[in-house]
Structure formats: C-alpha cells, structure tokens
Amino acid sequence: MVALESIPLFRQLNRTELQALRLIAQEQRFAAGQEIFREGAPGDGVYFVKSGLVEISAGSGDGRRLFSQLGPGEIFGEMSVIEHRPRSATASAVQPSEIYFLPRGEMLSIIQHSPGLAFALLQQISHRLREFNQLHVRELVQAESLAVIGRFAQGIVHDLKNPLSIISLSSEMFDMPGINPEIRAKSQLRIRKQVERISDMVGDILIFTQGAKKDGELKAGDYRSFVLELVGDLRAEAELKAAQVEMENVPPAVAVRFDPRRLSRVFFNLVGNATDIMLNGGKIFLRFKLAENEIITEIEDSGPGIPPELAGKLFQPFATHGKTKGTGLGLSICKKIIEDHGGTIEAHSAAGRGAIFRFTLPLVK
C-alpha cells in the first residue's frame, strides 16, 4: 500500500501542492474481477494504484489483448489528462484493489500551476507510448512488417522529443528563484501549448490511421494574427537545433477558415523537417502571397534540397526526406490537414536553394 505523496510522480511536489492533491484525490475500492473503467467510456480522470493489482486490456472475446499489469504506485488512464477522448482500453482489478482517482479538471488545474508535475507526467506518457509501440512492433514483426513498423514506433518517440525539451527548459525557467513574473507567465503558457501539441500529435496519428476526417471544426479567423502568434514557438523549437526562422514579409490580414491546432501542426512539421536535414543549423524562411481567392504560404530552408528520386513520393505515408528518424507520416499528415482545409500543398527545389514547401488556403468569401 502506498500513500499519495509516495507515488513517484508526486515526489517533487511541495507541501501546498500535495495538500491540493489530497483534496481532489478520491479513494475507490474494487473487488477482484471488477471493472474500473471500460473501453469507450469517457476519459474523466487519471488513476493510481494504492494497493492490489490492475490489468489494462483491449478488445473482446478471443480478440482481447492484455497490455500490462500495474501494482502499487503506478498510473493508468493518464491519456485522459491531455486529450478529452473516450478510453482506448479497459482497466480491471485482478485482485482486491484500492485506487486513487483524480478528476481530469482538477488535475489539469494542478498541472497548470506545477510545471515540474507537467513534465513528469509527459515523461510518463512518453514511456507508456514507448512500451505500447514496442508491443505493437513485436506483434507486427510476426506479420513480417518489421521495417515499416519499427521506423514508425521509433518515430513517435522522436517526434515527442522537441515538445518535451521545450517543457523541460520552460520548467527550469519557471522554477528559477527571483524570476520575473512576466517570464514565469510566458513559461507557463509555453508548457501548456506543448501539452496541447503532444495531444494533437497523438490525435493526428489516430485520425490518419483510422482514415477519419474531422469536420465542423473550421472557423473563420485572421491569418496574420495566427501566424504572428505561432512564429515565436517555431523560433524556439528551431533554436533547439541551432536554426533560425525568418519572416520575409508579414502575412496579409485576411480571413480564412481554419482549425488553429491542426494548422499549427503543418507549420511545426515543415519547420521540424527543415531543422532535421540542415547541418550545423541553417535558416528557414517564411513568406506569404495573396492571390485572388487564396493565401499562399511558402516555407523554404537553406538545406541541400529535395533529391529528384523523392520528389514524387514526399507526401506518401512512410516516405522520409533526408531524415534517419521520424514516423514517415509527417508530410502525409500535412497533406491531409491542408486538404481538409480546402487547400493544396506541394514541394519543389531550385538550383542552389533548399527545399520549398508551398501550401494554399482559400479565403473566406
């Protein structure tokens, strides 16, 4: 049996934060064989094992798969904290068990005021994703898919590194003694944005693999304001790899229908690809052009350009451009997002220049 403050995730919390945690924690008891939550149920919070043994599984009947068994101090149901989606698995008590339950809303409130806890939770989620990826790899190797799935599993962890690095740096900045309140607030905002970004990464991969299209989420907004707000985060990420992001001109103030989170993913994917292929840093240029019925965005890097043999395959799933790591889904996801917005995306190279990605978005009429 473990006390709440003895759970590894909470060991770095101060006395005030622990008191807030105790106030929201609900202790629940389950008999052997009793379900804690069912696959498809609302993700309403996160659980920790106080005593006993819990198993996580998915599917039904002969197709049921056991993912893991968890003992005292271990966390489960954690994805509900960063994405408000139905449960993807079923949790059941293997033996009589006592469980701590922390509701999603209250947990999010504590995380927003504790960057250290946010970072520790995301590390836990990254570790759990790695475990599940390894499980899928082992199963798919038996189906002779080692090369494709191995690269995919490695790439998911790789794609999480940048937001986790930004959260780590922002967390250190937040906790520095005597830090300016304005800088502290910016660090907290950056952490929250990166949490949302990781949630979007997971969601986009699920959407891609399920082939589902998200409708009804595009709202009219000012493209200039969106880009100007986003460019600071793009620069912060590029600087992690000694690269610079430069705007050659300010975007025109035009109205387009877009989903800010999904469209941000396009910018992060394209800028991230550019920093991965440029040696010793480099520069990434953003430029914008206004056409009769659309806004055109170009992202160009100072790298080696696109090899001719890849030019026609860049947007195909599992194709990679100058990278040794990555899911191979980044550009496919970009293509899907832009097409879901009613636009088009293409790539090309010119002599003596790097890769140039160009996408369009229709204007609000």
Residue span(s) of the chain under CATH 3.30.565.10 come to: 219-362
Q: Is the pTM of this model over 0.85?
A: no
CA 192, 228, 251, 302 torsion-angle sign: negative
Q: Can you list the pairs that 174-178 forms with residues at least 24 positions away whose Cβ atoms lie under 8 Å?
A: 174/115, 175/115, 175/116
Q: Which residues contact 16 (CB under 8 A, 6 or more apart)?
A: none
CA-derived radius of gyration, the chain: 22
- Among 47, 10, 2, which residue's Cα sits nearest to residue 28? 47
CA 113, 118, 120, 121 torsion-angle sign: positive
Structure tokens at 330: 């980044």
Residue span(s) of the chain under CATH 2.60.120.10 come to: 4-103
CATH number for the domain formed by residue range(s) 4-103: 2.60.120.10
Measure the CA–CA gap between 101 and 28, rounded to whole angstroms: 7
Protein fold of 219-362: Heat Shock Protein 90 (3.30.565)
State the amino acid at position 81 in one-letter form: V
pLDDT in tens, the chain (365 residues): 778 888 887 877 888 888 888 899 999 999 999 999 998 888 888 999 999 999 988 876 666 778 888 999 888 888 777 777 788 889 999 999 999 999 988 888 888 777 777 777 777 777 766 666 565 555 544 544 445 555 555 556 666 777 777 788 787 777 777 778 888 888 888 787 777 767 766 765 665 555 545 545 799 999 999 999 999 999 988 888 889 999 999 999 999 999 998 899 899 989 988 888 887 779 999 999 999 899 999 999 998 888 777 766 777 765 555 554 444 567 888 898 999 999 999 998 877 788 999 999 999 98
| Helix axis angle, 146-175 to 223-239, nearest 10° | 90
Strand partners, 290: 295
Please name the residue that has the structure tokens 């090369």: 147
Q: What is the DSSP letter of 252?
A: P
